[in-house]
Amino acid sequence: VREETRRRVLKAAAELDFTPNMVARSLAKARSNTVGLIVHDISDPYFAEIARGLEDAANQNRYQAFVCSSDRQVDRELAYVRSLISYRVDGIVLAGGAIEDRAYQTTLRKLLTEFEAQGRAVVQLAPQVYRSPGVVTDNRGGARAMTSYLVSLGHRSIAFVSGPPHIRTSKARFQGYRDALTAAGIGVDQSLVENGWFTVDGGAKAVSALLERRPDITAVFAANDVMAFGALHELATRAVEVPGSISVAGFDDIRMAAYLHTPLTTVRVPTYEMGREGMAIMLEVLAGRRPRLRKVPTEVVERASTGPPRGAR
């Protein structure tokens, strides 16, 4: 381009304060520079942190991100996927764990296969049944490590507050709990397990139910941090000492976890980084490469909410 022409064009653009129209560009290029992020609930700190990571990476690459909260409902999830496809997003990031539902899975696979066939990208940030690149945490391993840690502290009656039963992540974390108990020669007792729906309130209620049923428990392992919050609150309400009387552990290491009155022992999941990484992987796919699904290791973060069982030593 000749220098003078260049100058003239730029000047004219400035005078008419020309604003490029991404819609027209998207239509012409068949690329929209947008991503869709499907989460279970953007107001859940875990997903909010992932969203922030994804957004930062997207923004740095001149992408805009749509955020979609499905509340783990299959119809809403599919409606969002369809909508994102209509909007011709370049990629879809599945941040929540797979929902176990046959019909849903079939439809989802069909939609996403077709989507990818058009040169677009699907990235997962939690175990999905649909095969796609992404980065997922070792849910089972993390839960196993945490349970083993509690066992090593001397606990034998460890309650488990689980996530919703139809979510794959819930199942994996429960399996890790079972693995460790089995390995320690302690069986899994169903009366020690209660669903907390991955919510604060659910966590509080679950602990309440568990205490009624099994007053002998010395530790509570909540399958995510928000439920652990609820659990801690319920215990505080009942004036049960933590960790003196009951130890509490969580999973995810959301930012607030370190700032609780009794800082929470938990399994670290690098949420923000996963979000960033998710976008990076998407760009790779769009560039024609074929990154693999990566599994990031988890790590037990010991804080003040856990200790030996009461009566011990």
Partner DNA sequence: TTGTAGGCGTTATCAT
Partner DNA sequence: ATGATAACGCCTACAA
Give residues in contact with DNA (CB under 7 A): 1-2, 4-6, 18-21, 24-25, 27-30
Question: If phi over 0 gives left and psi between -120 and 50 gives alpha, with beta otherwise, what is residue 35?
Answer: beta
Q: Which two tokens stand for residue 226?
A: 């928000």
Judge whether 106 and 50 are in contact, CB under 8 Å. no
Q: Which residues in 112-131 contact its own copies (CB under 8 A)? A: 114
Query: H or E stretch including 235?
Result: helix 225-237
State the number of binding residues for its own copies (CB under 8 A): 55
51 binds its own copies (CB under 8 A): yes
| Contact pick of 26, 61, 73, 157 for its own copies (by CB under 8 A) | 26
The one segment of 80-88, 125-133, 207-215, 288-296 that binds its own copies by CB under 8 A:
80-88
| Contact pick of 272, 284, 293, 295 for its own copies (by CB under 8 A) | 272
**How near is the Cβ of 21 to its own copies at its closest, in Å?**
6
| Cα–Cα distance, 178 to 227 (Å, whole number) | 19
First-to-last C-alpha distance (Å) of the chain: 81
Nearest Cα residue to 142 out of 39, 217, 225: 225
Q: Which does residue 2 touch among DNA, its own copies, none (CB within 5 to 8 A, set by kind)?
A: DNA
Q: Which does residue 269 touch among DNA, its own copies, none (CB within 5 to 8 A, set by kind)?
A: none
| Cα–Cα distance, 247 to 41 (Å, whole number) | 28
The one segment of 16-24, 145-153, 163-171, 187-195 that binds its own copies by CB under 8 A:
16-24
Q: At what angle do helices 200-213 and 225-237 cross, to 10 degrees?
A: 50
Judge whether 123 and 66 are in contact, CB under 8 Å. no
Residues at the interface with its own copies (CB under 8 A): 17, 19-24, 26-27, 32, 34, 41-45, 48-49, 51-52, 55-56, 59, 62, 64-69, 80, 82-88, 114, 200, 204, 229-230, 232-233, 236, 255-256, 258-263, 272
